[in-house]
Amino acid sequence: MKIAWSVCKYLFVFLIVLISLGPFLWMLMASFKTNAEILTNSLGWPSHFRFSNYAMAFKIAPISRFYINSVIVGIFGTALNLLILGMSAYVLARFQFRGKKLLMVVLSLSLLIPGAAMLQPLYLTVNGIGLQDRLIGLIIVYAGFGLPVSLYILSSYFLTIPKEMEESAYLDGAGFIRTFFKIILPISRPGFGTAAVLQFLLCWNEFQFAVILTTSNHSRTLPLALYYFKSQFASDYGVMFAATMVVIAPSILVYVLMQRQVVSGLAAGAVKG
Partner 1 sequence: MINYKGYITLFLVPTIALFMLVYAVSLVILFGTSFTEWSTGLKPMFVGFRNYIQMFSDDASFKEGFWNTTVWVLLQSTVHVLIGVVFAIILNMKEFYWKFARTVFMFPNIISGAAVGMLFLCMLNPNFGAVNSIARLFGHSDYAQNWFMDYATAFLSVTMTWLPYAAVVTILILAEIAAIPDSLFESARIDGASELKINLFIVIPMLRNIIGTCVILAGTSMLQKMDIIMMTTGGGPGNTTLNLPMYIYKTAMMENNFGYSNSVGVFLIGFGIVFVLLARYLFRIGSSEV
Partner 2 sequence: MNKTFYKTSSTIAGVLMLLASVTACGSNSSSGSSAPSSGSPSASATASAQPSNQAAAKAPVKIKYLTFRVGTHASAKLEAEQIKQFNEKYGKEIEVQVEEIPSDSAYEDKIKILAASGDIPDVVMGKNGINDILIKGNLATPFNDYLSQDPEWAKEIGDEALAANTRDGKVWSISDQKQTVGYFYNKEMFDKAGIKPAQTWDEFMSNNEKLKSAGFVPLALMTGENAWTTNLILASIVGTSGEAGNKFMNTLHPSDFNTPEMIDALGKVKTMLEKYTTKDAIGAGYANAANNFCQAKAAIIANGPWMIGDFSDTTKCAAGFDQKVGIAAFPGNGMISSYEVGYMNGGKTQETRDAAEKFIRFKTGLEGQRIALEFGNVVPVSDQVQPSDELKQKYPLLVESIQVGNQSQVHYGSFDSIVYPNVSDAWKLLYPELVYNKSTAEEIAKKLSEIAAKNK
User: By the criterion CB under 8 A, which residues form the site for partner 2?
Assistant: 34-36, 39-40, 60-61, 72, 76, 79-80, 83, 119-120, 123-124, 127, 131, 133-137, 139, 178, 181-182, 185-186, 207-208, 211-212, 215-219, 224-237, 239
Among 23, 127, 186, 217, binds partner 1 (CB under 8 A): 23
- The C-alpha atoms of residue 238 and residue 167 are separated, in whole angstroms, by 59
By CB under 8 A, residue 13 contacts partner 1: yes
Pick what 57 binds: partner 1, partner 2, none; C-beta below 5 to 8 Å, kind-dependent: none
- Residue 235 in 3-state DSSP? strand
| 63-122 positions binding partner 1, by CB under 8 A | 83-85, 87-88, 90-93, 95, 97, 103-118, 120-122
82 contacts 199 by C-beta, under 8 angstroms: yes
The number of CA neighbours under 13 Å toward the Cβ of 19 is: 5
CA 241 to chain centre: 20
Who contacts 149 (Cβ-Cβ below 8 Å, separation ≥6)?
A: 111, 195, 198, 199, 202
CB of 227 to partner 1, least distance (A): 8
Q: Choose among 201, 214, 208, 186: nearest CA to 250.
A: 201
Pick what 248 binds: partner 2, partner 1, none; C-beta below 5 to 8 Å, kind-dependent: partner 1
Judged by CB under 8 A, the stretch of 11-19, 55-63, 66-74, 210-218 that binds partner 1 is 11-19
- The C-alpha atoms of residue 226 and residue 66 are separated, in whole angstroms, by 11
